[in-house]
Amino acid sequence: MNSAAVHPSGVIWITGLSGAGKSTVAAGVAKELRADGAPVELLDGDELRAVFAAGDVDAGHHRSNARQALAHQYARLAHLISNQGFTVVIATISLFREVHAWNRANIGNYFEVYLKVPIEELRRRDPKGIYRRFDEGHLTEVVGLDLPADEPEAADVVVEFSPARTIKEIVDGLITTWTARVVK
C-alpha cells in the first residue's frame, strides 16, 4: 500500500483481561500500520489510567464505577483523535458492554478485537502480579476473578489463545482484516 491516503481514520480497540497481550499486540499493529504510512496514535490502558486517574494507577483495577468511567473517557478520547484523521490503536481491558455499544454507535470505522486467553494462562503470565496478589488476598475487585467481565458480544475479531500462534501472526491477521474492512 504505502500511502496514508488508503488508511482511513478509525479505532482499533484491543480488549481482553490483564495479561492477555493487549499492549504487545497493539504496539505491533501500530508499528506495522505506521510502516505502511498510516497516521497512528497508540493508546495504552496502563498509561491512560495514570493520566486520567490523576496518578492513582490502581483506579483501573478497583471500584467498578471508576473503571467504567475511565473506559468511557478512553472511548471519547479515541473518538476525538480518530476524528482528526488518525487510526487509533488502543489496548485496554474496558470489558463493559455499554462502552462497546457506545463505541459502535459513535466511532466511524470502529474495529473491536478481543484477545480471549484462559485464566490459567493469564495466571501463568501475570506480568503485573495481579493474579498472584489476588490469590494472596492483597488485591480484590479484579476483572475476570471477583468482578465480572463483559465478553464482547460483537467483536470483529476474537483471537483465541493458542500457544503455537506468534504475535506476528496475530498482528498480520488483524491488519489484513482491518484493511479489508476499512479500505474500500
Residues with a known catalytic role? 94
How many CB atoms are closer than 10 A to CB 108?
12
The C-alpha atoms of residue 100 and residue 53 are separated, in whole angstroms, by 21
Based on its alpha-carbon atoms, the radius of gyration of the chain, rounded to whole angstroms, reads: 16
Q: Which residues pair with 10 in a beta bridge?
A: 87
Please, what is the angle between helix 97-106 and helix 64-82, to 10°? 20
Contact criterion met (CB below 8 Å) for 23 and 44: yes
